[in-house]
Structure 1
Amino acid sequence: DNAWQSWIINVVAGFLSQGPFPLRSAEILDPRNEAILGWMAANYLPLLRFQAGPHKPEEMVGVIRISAYSTSVTFTLKSHYHLDQLPIYIANGASYSLFSHTFDHYGIRTAWDVLHDEIVRRSMRHAPCSPKGEIIYRERPSGRRNRSPAVLYGTGDTSHCVDLIRSLLFPYAPCPVAPCAFDGSYLPEMTGPFVVSLNSPLNALTP
């Protein structure tokens, strides 16, 4: 919330103000501005070459940003329109329409939590999506007689991991406005190249 954001900014500003360089005002970016900046960073070189003419949408790179608790996707649109469309105008007159959407609760950390909770719910002992030899401790669902933490053992079984993930994601949720992503949110066709950014301390453990 805003109170936490202000506290974080004040702490960071206080730390940086102790350095040798002057600190100007700073603020936490809202998701849409962050999406635009991420897209511009991924397309930095093509954007510099605008004097040769604007690039087609399919020539630009889309961005998928995976954090601990959410995943966002940003890419150029061809002809679709939706509330999440973000018009972006470049100084020399070239413009692109971006689509950006954030899937809350679909980050790396939440994915691990959902997977491990499902394994415990199924009374399994092995965690196929975790590296072989890793030991995971999870709380058992409320109402179970055995209240001690469940102990799961990583196996690194890729095929079993994929099957488990598919069972959790599919079938898709109801789709009010097609086309949809797996959670029922509107998502236009994703075409062309994409770059993926993993922003989580769990990167080293990601299968």
Structure 2
Amino acid sequence: MSSSQVSVWEENRKYGVIIDAGSSGSRVYIYSWKDHEFAKNSFTIEELKGKIPIVERGDKDGLKWTSREEPGISTFGSKPNEVGEHLDMLLDFSKEVVPEDSHASTPIFLMATAGMRLLPEDQQTELLSATCNYMREKTSFFISDCDSHVRIIPGELEGVYGWVAVNYLMGGFDNSIKAYTEKKNPDDQVEQHHTFGFLDMGGASAQIAFEPEHHQRQEHMHDLTRITLHTLDGRTVDYDVFVTTFLGYGSNEARRRYLEDRVKKLFAASNGKNLLDEHRMLQLDDPCLPLNLNLTDASSTSVALALHGTGDFDKCIEYTVPLLNKDADCPTKPCLFNGVHTPDIDWSVNKFVGISEYWYSSHDILGLGGVYDFIEYEKKATDYCGKDWSHVLEDNKELGAAELHRYQMQCFKSAWIVNVLHEGIEIPRIKNPSGHQNLTEDRELLEQTIESVDAKNWNPPFQSIDTINDIQVSWTLGAMLLHVASKIPL
């Protein structure tokens, strides 16, 4: 890469740093964009019409723009004065990536999520204060005030930011922005152009964010969050988005609740009979573990468990459906699951994108990331669950601890993803007319259906993604885009 290329890319470039402080670790993301004044002076108003800032990775080659540090920042809740140990590598990395002469003008944010929310309030306050002070002491990055630059964000805001990131990267904003900018009269109504819905799942919770269709927006306006995008020509475009968090519906919490439910039902049916073995453990056949995998679990329930995998995907689906709590009281209708109010989703127009666990549980072992095909997904999940654990290990030698755990939990997570998508969020399945699952017939029907709608520029109801144009899909991108766009003079 020549120096002239570097200078062209760096010229009039601004930078921003966001640290995603999650429960298991913190990841720093460094983004960049061309200065608004440069854009304003380089293009005509007509050329800028309807354009939003282009937010890119923090270095031209995209090789050095993100880094991770473990464990999570919340582990310093009882020792806030030692938080610098956690931050040092992330801050040093950021100072290396951002050119030194841009440090003072580069905003830095630390946004904490799940782990920090669980700390006592006094520990939260002390840790956030210590973090902000340390960042100010060790860097010259821009921090206008601690409250806005170092904070805990709710799950709903994660959902909003994630929705923005997905639609920005996938072009979901393009048609609606074009329609807004072509209005002759500011009071004219704009025909709705549908954006992508957003699904995220971590270990503890799951989020959904989507823009309801017109009459649902009118009916549920008080439930929606308004998101305002600023275009480079100084206009604003508004989106009314529904976003909610399902606490306890992340993959790890769902697993814990599943075991808790199994144990509770076993004891209820025992008529007082002692179910524990000589080691004071409860022997439990688990259809949600690969065949003949044996595990112990001493933390998920009130008794220690000796689990034996029976590898029955259909049975795992059956056992995990009740965890959705579809029969919960729904004070404000309609609800999807667990009594959480959600506007109706019109599957003829609403298309969803899933990240995090939706991607990992589809891609890492099953190799099915991308456009979701439930027939293929259930077939591969069934095959995996029924595979003898000894053969799984034989085919995957030298697994690290994290990889081993993912292989152990893949059967459960596959079933949980299927249930959340189809029974929870109610993404429609394609079924054969008899109502009985026949993979060959269903496959033919699915292929015919896709063929018939391809000509209509059809988008699948759901797809899982991890990166788009080599940029990892993260809510931090949405947060930075909204920050950057908010600085455009109106």
Report the TM-score range of the alignment, normalised by the length of the smaller protein. 0.7 to 0.9
Q: 1:83 to 1:106 in 2, by over 3 A?
A: farther
**How far apart, CA to CA, are the structure 2 residues paired with 1:118 and 1:87?**
39
**How far apart, CA to CA, are the structure 2 residues paired with 1:103 and 1:164?**
19
Q: 1:167 to 1:89 in 2, by over 3 A?
A: closer
Corresponding residue to 1:94 among 237, 258, 261: 237
Query: Per-residue deviation at 1:160?
Result: 0.5
2:166 matched residue in structure 1: 42
Q: Does residue 323 of structure 2 align to residue 137 of structure 1?
A: no
Query: Per-residue deviation at 1:38?
Result: 1.1
Q: 1:104 to 1:115 in 2, by over 3 A?
A: same
Q: 1:61 to 1:163 in 2, by over 3 A?
A: same
**How far apart, CA to CA, are the structure 2 residues paired with 1:102 and 1:140?**
23
2:124 matched residue in structure 1: 5
User: For each residue in 1:70-117, what CA deviation from the matched residue of structure 2 results, as whole angstroms up to 9, or x when unmatched?
Assistant: 212110022331543101222233221100111122222210011112
SS at match of 1:115: helix
2:195 matched residue in structure 1: 60
**How far apart, CA to CA, are the structure 2 residues paired with 1:44 and 1:2?**
35
RMSD of Structure 2 on Structure 1 (CA)? 3.3
Which one has more relative contact order, counting CA pairs under 8 Å at least 6 apart? Answer: 1
2:355 matched residue in structure 1: 197
Q: List gaps (5 residues or longer) in structure 1.
A: none
Corresponding residue to 2:336 among 181, 186, 191: 181
AA partner of residue 356 (structure 2): L
**How far apart, CA to CA, are the structure 2 residues paired with 1:56 and 1:20?**
47
2:205 matched residue in structure 1: 70
**How far apart, CA to CA, are the structure 2 residues paired with 1:13 and 1:40?**
26
Q: 1:59 to 1:157 in 2, by over 3 A?
A: same
- Give the number of the structure whose alpha-carbon radius of gyration is greater: 2
1:107 matched residue in structure 2: 250
Contact kept in structure 1, 2:256 and 2:300, CA below 8 Å = no
2:434 matched residue in structure 1: none
Contact kept in structure 1, 2:209 and 2:241, CA below 8 Å = yes
**How far apart, CA to CA, are the structure 2 residues paired with 1:131 and 1:26?**
43
AA partner of residue 332 (structure 2): V
AA partner of residue 334 (structure 2): P
Q: 1:140 to 1:43 in 2, by over 3 A?
A: closer
Contact kept in structure 2, 1:16 and 1:23, CA below 8 Å = no
- The alignment of Structure 1 onto Structure 2 pairs a total of residues equal to 202
**How far apart, CA to CA, are the structure 2 residues paired with 1:14 and 1:172?**
48
Structure 1, 165-174 or 47-56: larger mean CA deviation:
47-56
Contact kept in structure 2, 1:127 and 1:152, CA below 8 Å = yes
**How far apart, CA to CA, are the structure 2 residues paired with 1:57 and 1:8?**
44
Query: Per-residue deviation at 1:48?
Result: 6.0
2:306 matched residue in structure 1: 151
**How far apart, CA to CA, are the structure 2 residues paired with 1:128 and 1:58?**
44
Corresponding residue to 1:160 among 315, 318, 321: 315
| Identical columns (%) | 22
SS at match of 2:206: strand
Structure 1, 34-43 or 44-53: larger mean CA deviation:
44-53
Q: 1:66 to 1:51 in 2, by over 3 A?
A: closer
**How far apart, CA to CA, are the structure 2 residues paired with 1:195 and 1:169?**
20
AA partner of residue 168 (structure 2): Y
SS at match of 2:152: coil
Q: Please, what TM-score do these two structures have when normalized by structure 1?
A: 0.77
Structure 1, 47-56 or 181-190: larger mean CA deviation:
47-56
Q: 1:138 to 1:57 in 2, by over 3 A?
A: farther
Structure 1, 173-182 or 196-205: larger mean CA deviation:
196-205
AA partner of residue 237 (structure 2): A
Q: 1:62 to 1:172 in 2, by over 3 A?
A: same
Q: List gaps (5 residues or longer) in structure 2.
A: 1-119, 144-148, 181-189, 267-282, 361-401, 415-490
